[in-house]
Structure 1
Amino acid sequence: MDSTNGRSRMEQLAEIARNTFWGHVGCELEYMDETKVIVSLDVREHHLNLIGILHGGVHATLLDSAMGIIAMAARPGEDVVTSSMNVHFTSPVRVGKVTAIAEIVHVSGKTVTTQATLRSEKDTLCSLATASFRIIEKKI
């Protein structure tokens, strides 16, 4: 994919996502090409759990979203859904910007395997994940 198509696809995905769960959480698609996706979130009070750190579900949402986008980039024109995901929480994070970076690990017939990390503004590793995505048939 050339940079013009990459930008327009990125803009298209960002626009579609705005009115979904993605937009409700506050995710931002920062960068996308066929090898890497970068998603960010400005962590605010409502993203925190009861002990004042980023809720595990928000970690998982960011990682899953970034890996889902890179899986879609690996299989353009096809729909993908998460079939499994493993998350490791490595360091607490509070308010401020976090960034998820996702990459492809392996692509086969009906499966895309990915990995991603979530880092704080200070480049601290907050969590990391691997996931498998299943290629599904598009609705007609």
Structure 2
Amino acid sequence: MPDVSFKLVGLYVDNISGVLVAPICKLLSATLETLNFSNDWRTENFTKEQDEALQLLTSLQFLEFYNCRALQSLPQGLHRLPSLHGITIYGPQNIRSLPKEGLPDSLRILRITNCCAEIYEACQQLKGTRPDINVLASKARVQN
């Protein structure tokens, strides 16, 4: 039988807290390029442990959040991800600010839909301070 090796390059899950633990992230650190969280309606914020586990994913290029309705903030350690190329946040969410420590120097794409006015303004400012990032942001529609 031939010697075959596999590597996980993309992971799509519906549970942020189930994946962002140090033992799992250590195993995926050298190969995982895309991490997609979809329909996690429970997670509001990242714990310190989850943030630190995410920072172990040094090969991560794309981080995506789809319909994570309860999410109120992004991981504060995003600026420490050396290979992160794109962040996508799609669908209803409650994120109110970008990470205080900023975004990684490697980031080239930031897409956020249905964002609040504060995030929209932060994205507009980012266009001026980081012209190397392709920023696409759309405001949430106000329901009457």
Instruction: Please report the TM-score for the alignment, with normalisation by the length of structure 2.
Output: 0.27
Instruction: Please report the TM-score for the alignment, with normalisation by the length of structure 1.
Output: 0.27
Higher fraction of strand: 1
Higher fraction of helix: 1
| Structure whose alpha-carbon radius of gyration is higher | 2
